[in-house]
Structure 1
């Protein structure tokens, strides 16, 4: 059955231009000029993907996609907008109402490729062999009181003080937030959670709380060292990721991707929580050859890889699409389909460096494709780019 796409824009000329992108495809295309018209179509027809303009009268794109998320959570959601709507785009990514944003004017070929890739990735995430494993995982619906309350505060656009008070109520989460804010990359020194939120931004704060909440699902008995190692590796990966953007790509990492390093290995935490002894054995038995051995070992022992599980769960929890991709492909950056190759390659390199720092005796495989894509000559240059200044 062909996939269906709903295009929403109050300007008829733009709608016609968008329709032309899909003329020679098998997609079934619907159009709407208003948010209310779009909701009426959704009520009558199964829509797989909605692409909505941000600026529309009566109901803007953010408000529309928030309703679509609530009423039709299986429908993928893209916001189409201009640079002037940056704050609203950020808000729609933060509350999960949109998974991806595209800037006007768009390139027809790029837009079609992105849509094709989104459907391809959705097929990967919906593989039936994932479902029995995911269904056995306890605690997926709720990740802890702090995270769920934080999500509610963000969606209600609460103030920084209220969010800081919530984080300070949990000493472990407060300590993690402060440790990131005080890292060498951020370049600040603060003991104030309120100030840390200002430095880091709500996107990273949300994902720090998410990461800690997931880590808390892992059994505590005899696994404290492994849990600490996973957090240290995640935090270090995120630090190197941000440094690569600044020093190799000469730009700030997009806010919607800024915590991709924190979340890229989230699948490992859940495998550890559900199969503690089996997964500890896998981690212990890793050889120093290629990382593919880890993926193969996970499949042979557990029937799933941490990449697949991590991508599935992050997608289910409505994290931005680039972060889902980073989790799903960070060991295989040359693999298609990937929309944001730049981010996935950078996460791969940051993951390599972090693992090398945390486990010097068991280095991971460095994919030459990622180096070439980011125009980094070799490992020596990579290390130089991420060297901390004294």
Structure 2
């Protein structure tokens, strides 16, 4: 039976958690300190850790950091007070927790979300996925510059030092400048320091990951460049839909979800010579590329991408955006708004590029309280597009 470990130094919170999780679906363990929790983890298997952040002796930051480094397969949730936004920022920048739950929480939502995370963990570690991973010649790993960047962020290093690190890597520096100077950031600069300030550290890390994966895995830049351009376009559209249609900024920690949503395609393309033919077949026949992947590999590029993003400890919303961007109304999704926006962005990016195998789920417009015509007018106004609209029969 899978094990969920809850940690909080307040007895009242622990009692509340015990009342919420009083079923036999999983094994629930409750501890009052980070030290006790760590002792338990060292002696017993744990699948998910849900911990308070502000605790005496060993606080939640220390506990999550240790677990991330030594037990990376354990899913991590942080319980934080809503009045401490800086704590959330620190947790996000250091990738210490895949999900943040704010106190006071809704008991029903908390339980539902934890169950969803556990089910996602099961979905990511299927027998088919394990066979796929064993069959791959190589998997991308996080680059040294990323690991150094995370360490510098955890030490509150000055932006000047972070910029100097990026300037040492010509490939990364050029991508950072290209992204910073793109239309959706709205500023032109040749300075890495200013680019880092404009982009933000969360986006910076995601851009480094995406660039390193494309750079590491490519022997044939043709289709890989197409995939990169598609991902960057999706990212632009995600930002535009938030700002121009939903009339609010995208949450900072999710601002590069579009950039990484298709990372599984890059890995499959690198490992299988025939993958180009699969992409072409999907375009020619109108049959979903996922159907071809499922038959040939047992898993889809969404599954593989979600596995990698989870392995790298990125926010759970990124994992969901990869896994579910083709089925955004799935009942298992926690970050429904973000996944729905990524779905639309992916659809319109495919429209722009005349890709025929992808269509929009019309329920997304209703869920987001958007009119389809309004979204497409925004695209015409902001990007000067003429929308190549396909027949949408999804309801």
**Global fold match (TM > 0.5):** yes
Distance across 2 between alignment mates of 1:148 and 1:57: 28
Cα shift at 1:173: 1.8
Cα shift at 1:366: 1.0
Structure 1 residue 298 corresponds to structure 2 residue 293: yes
Measured on the aligned residues, the alpha-carbon RMSD in Å equals: 2.0
1:182 touches 1:188 (CA, 8 Å); kept in 2?
yes
The residue aligned with 1:351 is 346
The residue aligned with 1:283 is 279
The residue aligned with 2:388 is none
Alignment of 1:46-61 (within 5 A): 46-61=45-60
| Partner-residue secondary structure (3-state), 1:73 | coil
Runs of 4+ with deviation above 6 angstroms: none
Which residue of 377, 381, 394 corresponds with 1:384?
A: 377
Which deviates the most, 266-275 or 58-67?
58-67
Q: 1:25 to 1:254 in 2, by over 3 A?
A: farther
Distance across 2 between alignment mates of 1:80 and 1:281: 46
Provide Cα deviations, 1:222-252, integer angstroms capped at 9, x if missing partner. x212122111111111111112222332322
Which deviates the most, 164-173 or 318-327?
164-173
Distance across 2 between alignment mates of 1:250 and 1:54: 32
- Which runs of 5 or more structure 1 residues have no equivalent in the other structure? none
Q: 1:289 to 1:366 in 2, by over 3 A?
A: farther
Provide Cα deviations, 1:91-143, integer angstroms capped at 9, x if missing partner. 22222221100111100110011011011111110001111322343553634
Distance across 2 between alignment mates of 1:351 and 1:158: 35
Q: 1:144 to 1:80 in 2, by over 3 A?
A: closer
Distance across 2 between alignment mates of 1:139 and 1:164: 30
Which deviates the most, 249-258 or 6-15?
249-258
| Partner-residue secondary structure (3-state), 2:359 | coil
Structure 1 residue 267 corresponds to structure 2 residue 261: no
1:53 touches 1:81 (CA, 8 Å); kept in 2?
yes
| Partner-residue secondary structure (3-state), 1:119 | helix
Q: 1:247 to 1:37 in 2, by over 3 A?
A: same
Distance across 2 between alignment mates of 1:74 and 1:143: 16
The residue aligned with 1:325 is 320
Alignment of 1:215-254 (within 5 A): 215-220=214-219, 223-254=220-251
Cα shift at 1:87: 1.9
Distance across 1 between alignment mates of 2:284 and 2:89: 41
1:93 touches 1:100 (CA, 8 Å); kept in 2?
no
Q: How many residues align?
A: 383
Cα shift at 1:361: 5.5
2:47 touches 2:75 (CA, 8 Å); kept in 1?
yes
Structure 1 residue 310 corresponds to structure 2 residue 305: yes
Distance across 2 between alignment mates of 1:130 and 1:381: 40
- Which runs of 5 or more structure 2 residues have no equivalent in the other structure? 385-395
| Partner-residue secondary structure (3-state), 2:243 | helix
Distance across 1 between alignment mates of 2:211 and 2:58: 36
| Partner-residue secondary structure (3-state), 1:339 | coil
The residue aligned with 1:204 is 203
The residue aligned with 1:371 is 365
Provide Cα deviations, 1:243-264, integer angstroms capped at 9, x if missing partner. 2222332322222211100000
Structure 1 residue 257 corresponds to structure 2 residue 240: no
Provide Cα deviations, 1:141-179, integer angstroms capped at 9, x if missing partner. 634443343334334443222221222222222122112
2:289 touches 2:357 (CA, 8 Å); kept in 1?
no
1:8 touches 1:32 (CA, 8 Å); kept in 2?
yes
Cα shift at 1:321: 0.4
Distance across 2 between alignment mates of 1:217 and 1:34: 42
Q: Give TM-score scaled by structure 2 length.
A: 0.91
Cα shift at 1:337: 1.2
Cα shift at 1:288: 6.5
2:6 touches 2:50 (CA, 8 Å); kept in 1?
yes
Cα shift at 1:360: 2.2
